[in-house]
Structure 1
Amino acid sequence: MNKVFFLFCFQFGLFLHGFSQDTTSTQKDTLSKFDRFNQKAEALFKIIPVPLFAYSTEAGQIFGLAKFNLFRLSKKDSISNPTRLSEVFTMSTKGRINASVSTELSLKENKYVILSSVNYRKQPEYIFGIGNDISRDSLEEVEYSRFRFILTGMRLIRKNLYLGPAFDLSNYYDIKPDSNSFLIRDSVTGLKGGFNFGLGIAGAYDTRDSRYNASKGSYIINTFMWHPPFLGSTYSFFKWDLDARKFFTPWLKHVIAVQATTTYISGDAPFYDLAMLGGENKMRGYYLGALRDKVLVDAQVEYRLPVWNIFGVTGWLGTGRVANSYSGLSLDGFWLSYGLGLRIRVDSKNNTNMRFDFGFGPNNISGFYINFAEAF
């Protein structure tokens, strides 16, 4: 895997400046000044986007900005969870472009929840092959362009239980695999790209005390999505996603978080819409989509430890694999993910962190991630 190192100079520069002031004063005075500094930094953080820089041999130098905000849509509604709005835009010296806007809206005293995401991406994608029994030596690069829009709207139908429609629209084009790629040799579905219109239903059970940094409660979300040709989809397939989470606080403010997910796909799904292992939230350390197939199962447990003031650390252990069917799953084929993370609170009112995660796996698999809120 290519290692990418992000520099988040702005936040740390402010922190180091404030921390270096008046080191000869008493601990009480230092903490008081530190807290006052944090209040000013958080206020500035809500206005100014975070500068990002990255480098890899494939993409070259990557420059961008990221923004994350939590706020209430109505001052009269003090019951609804805060609404999330996040944006990311990056460009690279080798032609990579990635632009995303995502939201999570809470309305009418949490009676309605709307999840949405708009993304444009032009970049190479890396893939070992299709299936679980593959080798890192078979890594290939596939260039493509993509536009995608996802919308899920759910209404509270019973205490803690939500239900509503879901939509997934995407268009993949300008797909350019390696000249000797298995995608060409095997005439893999999706090689020519196409348009997909997904229509489905989503249901969620949510008892978490916080959507962005939970310390207790449960969260289960099910999504069933059909991509029928009569709606204009180039490929006809069905997709089911299940995500289950549980949070415990065994002592003090220490948190143990557990997550298990699965994805099932049937029909003529293109290779870019198969179930994918890896990414910045699950199986951290693995490139998202390096392993993919019609069935995915994975699980992880994470320990979240507060250290001092706005700082905390985490450690996690995860495992997962893909297969062509559930009957094809075997215990000896699971991949391992583990790692450590640093947490810095950037929104005290909503108890939200910025996270820096270092994920690893066997055979020199590694990844570094910067994001807002917890991985799950």
Structure 2
Amino acid sequence: GIVVNYFFNSGISADEKQQTRLSNAYTNFQYSVLNQLVLEGVYSIYTNKEKYILQGSIGYKKFYERYWTFSEDTVGNNNFRGINYKHIYLRGKLIQNLKNQIFVGVTYSYNRFNNITFQEGVYPQIPKAAGLGESMSLGIGPTVVIDKRDNQFSPQKGWFAEVGYRIHDKNIGSNFNYSQLNIDLRNYIVTKPKGILALNIITVFNSGTVPFLEKAKLGNDKIMRGYFAGRFRDDQFAAAQMEYRYPIGKIFILAGFLSAGQTAPNVSAFALNTMQSSIGGGLRYLVNKQKHLYVRFDAGYTQKQNWGFYLNLGDAF
């Protein structure tokens, strides 16, 4: 695959650049020997003097993923059914800085899944869910962001909070009626002598008829590291993680992390005895001192006794 990243500051004058945090846009092209294809463009932009934040992605995937069960921990790691599909998507947010890095605006999402096919097999059974053959959803709603971080890619201090609510409705063109509430909270604490303790809570709460491939998934390169994406999936998701980052010399950072979370069919089904957890660590290498950019390698190990390995630009959160 090929990824082309461009980091830039949208400030016009030297003084305005000091008031504007780093932005990023990238294109991603991937093709695999299994005939999988990913074409996408992604952007996260602070405009001049941070009057607005523009974030979003647009893309096409001819992809494969795995289905085990929903939230029931009833199958082994190798008891999954493969899913092939085509996916066109457009997602984003446009938010305005009202005052003191408090941003308010709109979030939107368009997803179309076609040619959804489950691989042959006996177990697990094909799930009973909406949108198994194809699905299209269109949603829009308000979002509020408070962004006190010093850097959106590898934060050293500050905090971040986002609450977004999106309605998907047949009256605006969606094939399904459902609403989604997203919450993302982050805090970065400087510790003595020179470490950083990073904390994060993420929740996704759905209400209504959520199409199968848009249900919340547990596991990715940012939270619940180690779990294969979709190892558990359902209408509700909640997870928390902590990561300690300690610099070694001038260009390396050692990190250790711990996370816990779960999916559930409804909020009342969340329970401590069904919580999933993972632990891991990694190394960050400074590739651009001026822009404070790190390459991140992480290894996560889960209570399901499997590993996940990740190589990315920027911290997980």
Both proteins in one fold, TM over 0.5:
yes
User: C-alpha root-mean-square deviation of aligned residues, in Å?
Assistant: 1.6
> Which string of whole-angstrom CA distances, capped at 9 and with x for unpartnered residues, describes residues 340-369 of structure 1?
111111121111111011111123311111
1:278 aligns with 2:230: no
Any residues of structure 2 matched to 1:340-351 within 5 Å, and which? 340-351=281-292
Distance 1:131 1:233, change over 3 A: same
- Kindly tell me the number of residue pairs found equivalent between the two proteins: 313
1:111 aligns with 2:64: no
Does the residue aligned with 1:283 lie in a helix, a strand or coil?
coil
> Which string of whole-angstrom CA distances, capped at 9 and with x for unpartnered residues, describes residues 74-93 of structure 1?
43231111211122211111
Any residues of structure 2 matched to 1:126-165 within 5 Å, and which? 126-136=66-76, 137-165=78-106
1:327 aligns with 2:268: yes
1:305 aligns with 2:242: no
Partner of 2:175: 234
Structure (1 or 2) with the greater strand fraction: 2
How far did residue 184 of structure 1 move? 7.2
1:96 aligns with 2:33: no
Any residues of structure 2 matched to 1:209-228 within 5 Å, and which? 209-228=150-169
> Which string of whole-angstrom CA distances, capped at 9 and with x for unpartnered residues, describes residues 178-220 of structure 1?
2457797554211121221111111111111221111221101
Equivalent residues of 2:114, 2:133 under 8 A apart: yes
Instruction: Provide the rounded CA distance (Å) in 2 between the counterparts of 1:348 and 1:244.
Output: 27
Partner of 2:146: 205
Does the residue aligned with 1:322 lie in a helix, a strand or coil?
strand
Equivalent residues of 2:68, 2:124 under 8 A apart: no
Distance 1:204 1:305, change over 3 A: same
1:86 aligns with 2:26: yes
Does the residue aligned with 2:298 lie in a helix, a strand or coil?
strand
Q: Percent identity?
A: 24
> Which string of whole-angstrom CA distances, capped at 9 and with x for unpartnered residues, describes residues 302-337 of structure 1?
011111221111110001011111111111011111
How far did residue 138 of structure 1 move? 3.3
Instruction: Provide the rounded CA distance (Å) in 1 between the counterparts of 2:182 and 2:139.
Output: 13
Partner of 1:373: 314
Structure 1 stretches of at least 4 aligned residues deviating more than 4 Å after TM superposition: 180-186
What runs of 5+ residues in structure 2 fail to find an aligned partner?
none
* Paired letter, 1:335: Q
Instruction: Provide the rounded CA distance (Å) in 1 between the counterparts of 2:174 and 2:262.
Output: 28
> Once structures 1 and 2 are overlaid, which stretch shifts more, 275-284 or 132-141?
132-141
Does the residue aligned with 2:213 lie in a helix, a strand or coil?
helix
Instruction: Provide the rounded CA distance (Å) in 1 between the counterparts of 2:126 and 2:275.
Output: 28
1:361 aligns with 2:302: yes
* Paired letter, 1:83: S
